[in-house]
Amino acid sequence: MEKKKIFTAIMAISMLIITFSGCSSNQKQSYGNLGKGDESDRPEVEDIVIDNESDIYNIGDEIQVKNVDYGTNREYVAKSYIVNSVKIYDTAAEIDGVQDKLTETDYYMGADPEKPAILEKDEVACGKFLLCDISVKNIEDEVCTVGDISLVYDINGVCQLLGYPVYFSNAKDNEHGIYDYTLVQGQSLDAQIGFCVDPALLQIDNMDLNKLYLSVNFNGDEENRQFIDPGLE
């Protein structure tokens, strides 16, 4: 009788161990799968299109950069840009004072948007280069940066980000914070920014210059996203 009781107790304990082990295994499996949904479950990247001609500005137009104070939900104009002129050069190296201030940058055409490729400074210097003369006025901006201007390319009606400036004439530090500058609120300055527009480096076959746009707040809210037609031919 005693042996039977001992055997029954051992069996009960064994069942409890198996049950808890199973629960623990299931919990680990559940937690391990959190955030790892199937590819089909992941949201698609929104196509950015120019659906309104009023979103397109021309050389000489003033473009206002709007921000929102999320503490008070107040929308305000942070600064304004005017693109005064643009010019394409065969290489950046032929422009006085530009090559030494070039920086390497991410580029996105032909690359995984999650892992953009890098354009080295030496590559940029030898490729076609878009130089833009701009005027900027600080209206109510706390941190001034030209990083909110980017170059995009229209592919079948959808705008693809090419990259950000590889040159800024007023950069404080070429290696760190190339896009940032100091400008007191209410004051203006004239500067130059430059972009790589070399088809081979950007991996664009038969590039159509008419499909190149400058964009302000390209990755921002749709209502504050604006495009500038540089009028390239």
Q: What angle do CA 69, 74, 78 make, to 5 degrees?
A: 65
How many domains does the chain divide into?
Answer: 2
pLDDT at 36: 29
Walk along the chain (233 residues) in steps of 10 and give the mean pLDDT of each run.
48 48 39 31 54 81 88 90 97 90 80 76 91 96 87 89 90 67 92 93 89 88 84 87
pLDDT at 14: 52
pLDDT at 177: 60
HSE (CB half, 13 Å, CA atoms) of 38?
2
Rounded distance between C-alpha atoms, residue 164 and residue 181, angstroms? 16
For residues 35 and 72, membership in a common domain is answered with no
Q: Which domain holds residue 9?
A: 2-40
Q: Is residue 45 part of a domain?
A: no
Q: Is residue 166 part of a domain?
A: yes
Rounded distance between C-alpha atoms, residue 85 and residue 230, angstroms? 8
* Of the candidates 126, 132, 130, the residue with the CA atom closest to the CA atom of residue 99: 126
pLDDT at 15: 52
Percent of the chain that is helix, strand, coil (3-state, to 5): 25, 40, 35
For residues 164 and 207, membership in a common domain is answered with yes
For residues 57 and 133, membership in a common domain is answered with yes
Residues paired with residue 133 on neighbouring β-strands, in sequence order? 85, 192
Q: Is residue 46 part of a domain?
A: no
For residues 170 and 217, membership in a common domain is answered with yes
Q: Do the strands 56-58 and 62-69 form a parallel or antiparallel pair, or are they unpaired? A: unpaired
Rounded distance between C-alpha atoms, residue 67 and residue 48, angstroms? 20
pTM of the model: 0.75
For residues 17 and 124, membership in a common domain is answered with no
For residues 61 and 131, membership in a common domain is answered with yes
pLDDT at 175: 55
CB atoms inside a 10 Å sphere around CB 16: 10
